[in-house]
């Protein structure tokens, strides 16, 4: 282990410690963000440690997803793998738990040598039997303490039997107290830990509670900022830090993220992978702004914050204790704000992967003013601009005669109105074929016929775009050009003719 003594002894050090058992989760992203904001706010060091000891297959893929999506959010760190599959950077590496086994083994030996841990020879069957008896007596599960004080002879006997020992930490019977930066003073009786706890399984693999403490100590972590779901683990961690002779870091447990009905956010009920939000076209700026407010607020009415400003303003003491409700409408709102804050050119770059390739960069830039106000997510653009690249026949195949009709008009009346619209379009020269001119003409025609503008425009919109919801009609017609508009109206009239004739 290449720990250079002295490095990082001073100064604040925080870490995020994701387990690569799935793609980057919204809760992990928020925890990572809070650690980032805290570290940047105080000028400390930020460490990424990959907790891959228990990771099942596919962990490389999840690690990649986690790192890529943290980068996408704009979160950076100073130590640990900087890119997925890349080298671990920093003086306290390796930063993958799967590569730190020798340290864990040595630290467990140290606890055994000081009698703060002991070898436990109980088999899973024996432990199960005890648990069942406890259940019958309606007692909480608790290690019986059978191997706590084995004599050498008893130990030898188990060894001779071929039993392989787990290592248990001797949990002292005390009330563990710590000052949480968010929750204030926390007191939890060690009694609640269920007796002496296994820190290394009989197959030699160490458990999370042990390795997290060994690593936080080895990496000189001064502040542990993590989800409140870990609060009940903290007393055990505090006891382990002490037993290993290390300073106990400062803890800050951040509130859970809740569904709108205040149940705990779960994969089943909500979309939890950051990747999914990214794929739908949420902007990282909006996502970060949204995540920051899941449990924190600046104490003012301000709501739009860039990552840099968040880092300036973020005070960990202002994180709330109460659960943070995940409000998707708020995310949508923020996304719209950020989309509209981009220039058309910037938005074009962001939209490129969300719109059909057939729409060239010029076409994309031209349509942006029409769709910018209408987009909640970048992916919405795909549907909004599709009419520009779809063939006329494809557009026509999207609707039937009924789809063209205005609410109060039948096929014959709709055909009459659409014919009138066609006349206006045909009378407009290609060089005058612009939104303002077209709108003035069509409004005039609607008025002359005694039609409400909206009713008159509906069949036009469906004919031109194949959809009842589209970017502004006349701007869309301008982009499409005179000939294609006429062809699309002709196709619509042909459809109407089939029902008028019948
Ligand atoms: N690997 C743990 C998790 O993903 C880290 C918990 C901690 O921050 O201590 O929940």
Measured between its terminal Cα atoms, the distance across the chain in Å is: 85
- What does DSSP say about strands 80-81 and 45-48: parallel, antiparallel, or unpaired? unpaired
Residue 189: pLDDT band with limits 50, 70, 90:
very high
Q: What is the mean pLDDT of residues 475-487?
A: 98
Q: Which residues on neighbouring strands pair with residue 187, listed in sequence order?
A: 177
Please give the number of the atom of ligand 1 that sits closest to the Cα of 16: 8
Residue-wise pLDDT for 196-218, tens only, equals 999 999 999 999 999 999 999 99
Residue-wise pLDDT for 315-362, tens only, equals 999 999 999 999 999 999 999 999 999 999 999 999 999 999 999 999
Exposure string over 222-253, b if 16+ CB within 10 A, otherwise e: bbbbbbbebbeebbbbbbbbebbebebbbbbb
Residue 55: pLDDT band with limits 50, 70, 90:
low
Residue ranges matching CATH 3.40.50.620 in the chain: 13-258
How close is the Cα of 424 to the center of ligand 1, in Å?
Answer: 66
> Which of the 8 DSSP states describes residue 323?
P
CA-closest residue to ligand 1 atom 5? 17
**Concatenated DSSP letters of 64-119:** HHHHHHHHHHT---SBEESSTTS-EESTT---BGGG-HHHHHHHHHHHHHTTSEEE
Residue-wise pLDDT for 62-101, tens only, equals 999 999 999 999 999 999 999 988 899 999 999 999 999 9
pLDDT at residue 54, as a whole number: 73
What is the best residue among 208, 225, 236, 248 to mutate for testing ligand 1's pocket, by most ligand atoms within 8 Å of CB?
A: 208
Domain 13-258 CATH (choose: 3.40.50.620, 3.90.1150.10, 3.30.2290.10, 1.10.3720.10): 3.40.50.620
Residue 56: pLDDT band with limits 50, 70, 90:
low
Residue 44: pLDDT band with limits 50, 70, 90:
very high
Assess contact for 338 and 286: CB atoms under 8 A: yes
Residue 407: pLDDT band with limits 50, 70, 90:
confident
pLDDT above 60 (res 294)? yes
Our answer to whether residue 267 is catalytic in this structure is yes
Please give the number of the atom of ligand 1 that sits closest to the Cα of 212: 9
pLDDT at residue 262, as a whole number: 87
pLDDT above 60 (res 440)? yes
Least confident of 55-59, 121-125, 245-249, 416-420: 55-59
If one counts every other C-beta atom within 10 angstroms of the C-beta of residue 33, the result is 25
pLDDT at residue 9, as a whole number: 38
pLDDT at residue 1, as a whole number: 36
Residue ranges matching CATH 1.10.1160.10 in the chain: 274-387
Distance CA 406, CA 414 (A): 7
pLDDT at residue 59, as a whole number: 87
- What does DSSP say about strands 166-169 and 197-200: parallel, antiparallel, or unpaired? antiparallel
The residue annotated as part of the active site, out of 267, 321, 328, 452, is 267
- What does DSSP say about strands 257-258 and 80-81: parallel, antiparallel, or unpaired? unpaired
How close is the Cα of 321 to the center of ligand 1, in Å?
Answer: 19
pLDDT above 70 (res 5)? no
Please give the number of the atom of ligand 1 that sits closest to the Cα of 28: 4
Written as six digits, the tokens of 14 are 């925080």
pLDDT above 70 (res 502)? no
Q: What is the topology classification, in CATH, of domain 274-387?
A: 1.10.1160
Query: What is the percentage of the chain residues whose pLDDT exceeds 90?
Result: 91
Alpha-carbon separation of residue 92 from 49, 60, 108, 122 (angstroms): 10, 21, 19, 36
How close is the Cα of 47 to the center of ligand 1, in Å?
Answer: 13
Residues near 352 by Cβ (< 8 Å), separated by ≥ 6? Answer: 361, 364
Please report which helix (H) or strand (E) contains residue 379, including its range: none
pLDDT at residue 264, as a whole number: 85
pLDDT above 90 (res 266)? no
Distance CA 18, CA 273 (A): 14
Written as six digits, the tokens of 84 are 């997925």
How close is the Cα of 106 to the center of ligand 1, in Å?
Answer: 22
Please give the number of the atom of ligand 1 that sits closest to the Cα of 229: 10
Q: What is the mean pLDDT of residues 377-397?
A: 97
Helix 473-480 with 380-389: angle, nearest 10 deg:
50
pLDDT above 50 (res 6)? no
Q: What is the mean pLDDT of residues 378-385?
A: 97
What count of residues does the chain have?
Answer: 502
Least confident of 172-176, 269-273, 389-393, 395-399: 269-273
- Order across the sheet with 197-200: list the strands: 117-120, 166-169, 197-200
Distance CA 67, CA 486 (A): 51
Q: Supply the pTM of this predicted model.
A: 0.92
Q: What class has domain 390-501?
A: mainly alpha
């Amino acid at each position: 282990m290449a720990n250079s003594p002295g490095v990082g002894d001073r100064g604040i050090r925080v870490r995020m410690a994701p387990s690569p058992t799935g793609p980057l989760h919204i809760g992990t992203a928020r925890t990572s963000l809070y650690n980032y904001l805290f570290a940047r706010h105080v000028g400390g060091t930020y460490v990424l440690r990959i907790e891959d000891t228990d990771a099942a297959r596919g962990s490389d893929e999840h690690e990649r997803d986690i790192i890529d999506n943290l980068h996408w959010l704009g979160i950076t760190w100073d130590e640990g793998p900087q890119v997925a599959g890349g080298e671990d950077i920093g003086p306290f590496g390796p930063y993958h738990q799967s590569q730190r086994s020798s340290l864990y083994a040595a630290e467990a030996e140290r606890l055994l040598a000081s009698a703060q841990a002991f070898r436990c020879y109980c088999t899973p069957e024996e432990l199960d039997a005890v648990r069942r008896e406890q259940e019958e007596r309606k007692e909480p599960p608790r290690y019986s303490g059978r191997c706590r004080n084995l004599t050498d002879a008893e130990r030898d006997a188990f060894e001779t039997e071929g039993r392989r020992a787990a290592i248990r930490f001797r949990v002292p019977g005390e009330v563990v107290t710590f000052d949480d930066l968010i929750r204030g003073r926390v007191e939890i009786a060690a009694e609640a830990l269920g007796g002496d706890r296994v820190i290394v399984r009989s197959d030699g693999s160490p458990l999370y509670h042990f390795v997290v403490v060994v690593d936080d100590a080895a990496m000189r972590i001064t502040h542990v900022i993590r989800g409140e779901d870990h609060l009940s683990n903290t007393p055990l961690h505090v006891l382990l830090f002490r037993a290993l002779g290390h300073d106990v870091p400062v803890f800050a447990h951040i509130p859970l993220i809740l569904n709108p009905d205040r149940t705990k956010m779960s994969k089943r009920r909500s979309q939890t992978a950051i990747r999914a939000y990214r794929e739908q076209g949420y902007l990282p700026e909006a996502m970060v702004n949204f995540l920051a407010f899941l449990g924190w607020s600046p104490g003012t009415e301000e709501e739009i914050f860039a990552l840099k400003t968040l880092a300036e303003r973020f005070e960990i003491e202002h994180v709330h204790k109460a659960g943070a409700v995940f409000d998707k409408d708020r995310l949508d709102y923020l996304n719209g704000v950020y989309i509209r804050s981009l220039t058309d050119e910037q938005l074009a770059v962001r939209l490129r992967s969300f719109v059909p390739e057939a729409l060239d960069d010029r076409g994309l830039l031209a349509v942006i003013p029409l769709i910018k106000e209408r987009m909640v997510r970048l992916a919405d653009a795909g549907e909004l601009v599709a009419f520009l690249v779809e063939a006329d026949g494809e557009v026509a195949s999207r609707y039937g005669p009924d789809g063209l009709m205005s609410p109060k008009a039948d096929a014959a009346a709709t055909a009459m109105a659409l014919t009138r619209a066609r006349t206006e379009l045909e009378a407009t020269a290609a060089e005058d074929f612009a939104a303002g001119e077209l709108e003035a003409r069509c409004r005039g025609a609607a008025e002359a016929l005694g039609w409400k503008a909206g009713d008159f425009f509906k069949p036009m919109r469906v004919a031109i775009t194949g959809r009842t919801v589209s970017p502004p009609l006349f701007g869309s017609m301008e982009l499409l050009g005179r000939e294609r508009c006429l062809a699309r109206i002709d196709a619509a009239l042909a459809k109407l003719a089939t029902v008028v004739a019948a």
